[in-house]
């Protein structure tokens, strides 16, 4: 395929220069068409160029990268977010399976992101990463409401309030949903324990991560066990029991 037409939006001149140099030297499949210093310049460049790829800083004066995307009527490009570490931003990006790079930029991570996007373009794979991300960002309580789960056939976008519990299966995780349809995802349970909101999801056993909204009964014992809304009984390990009980205080 032809080179990916790219636009870079970052308010810091040094960051623009470094990323421009990296793209020129390490990403031969990318042609940088514009390097913009603010949201307005970025919007004008998007309308003029119709890029395949947008490299977008999140924190900028007078708005964020998310504000820029909200103003684009039809997002037909893939986005790689560039950010300094921020817990909420990173959680939202992970939940949507969005591409992002942490400052200072790691060259291997940049090349990897570009390669994945190029592969998706060649396979004509539509990306919904950005829309899921924006839906999550809009939430008033700043807690993401949807998660994008890669499956063997593609991906599923799942509201997190539909997840009853997650079950470890070697290096996979099985999601048990309210509609009764399980999803097997090729990531570990620990990965989702770190990603899902800790105000609702509690690890009760090495093999179980539950949504406390779906607990209907706790039965005492050395660790005890919980009965979930779908009538499944799950063991609570003695080690995890204090953490589980704390969630209901």
- 208 touches 237 (CB < 8 A): no
Radius of gyration of the chain (CA): 21
* Helix ranges (DSSP H) in 149-240: 189-195
Model confidence, pTM: 0.64
- Give the tens place of pLDDT for each residue, 197-245: 888 899 999 999 999 999 999 999 999 999 999 999 999 999 999 999 9
Eight-class DSSP state of 207:
T
Residue 88 has pLDDT above 70, yes or no: no
pLDDT in tens, 97-128: 778 898 889 999 999 999 988 887 776 655 66
Phi, psi (deg, nearest 5) at residue 236: -105, 120
Report CA dihedral (216, 219, 220, 221) to the nearest 10 degrees.
-130
Contact partners, residue 84, CB within 8 Å, separation at least 6: 59, 102, 103
The DSSP letter of residue 142 is: S
3-state secondary structure of 94: helix
């Amino acid at each position: 395929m032809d080179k990916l037409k790219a636009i870079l939006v970052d308010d810091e001149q040094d960051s623009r220069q470094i990323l421009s140099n990296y793209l020129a030297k390490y990403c031969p499949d990318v042609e940088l068409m514009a390097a913009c210093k603010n949201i307005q310049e970025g919007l004008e460049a998007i309308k003029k160029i119709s890029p395949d790829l947008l490299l977008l800083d999140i924190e900028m004066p007078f708005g964020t990268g998310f504000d820029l995307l909200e103003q684009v009527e039809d997002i037909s490009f893939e986005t790689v977010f560039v950010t300094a570490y921020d817990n909420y931003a990173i959680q939202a990006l992970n939940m949507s399976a969005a591409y992002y790079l942490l400052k200072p930029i790691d060259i291997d991570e940049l090349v990897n992101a570009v390669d994945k996007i190029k592969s998706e373009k060649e396979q004509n794979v539509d990306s919904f990463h950005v829309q899921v991300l924006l839906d999550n960002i809009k939430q008033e309580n700043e807690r993401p409401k949807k998660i994008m789960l890669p499956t063997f056939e593609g991906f599923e976008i799942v509201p997190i309030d539909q997840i009853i519990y997650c079950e470890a299966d070697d290096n996979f995780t099985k999601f048990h949903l309210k509609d009764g349809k399980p999803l097997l995802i090729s990531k570990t349970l620990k990965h989702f324990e770190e990603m899902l909101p800790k105000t609702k999801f509690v690890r009760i056993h090495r093999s179980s991560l539950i949504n406390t909204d779906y607990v209907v009964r706790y039965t005492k014992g050395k660790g005890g066990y919980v009965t979930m809304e779908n009538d499944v009984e799950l063991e609570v390990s003695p080690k995890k029991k204090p953490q589980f009980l704390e969630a209901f205080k």
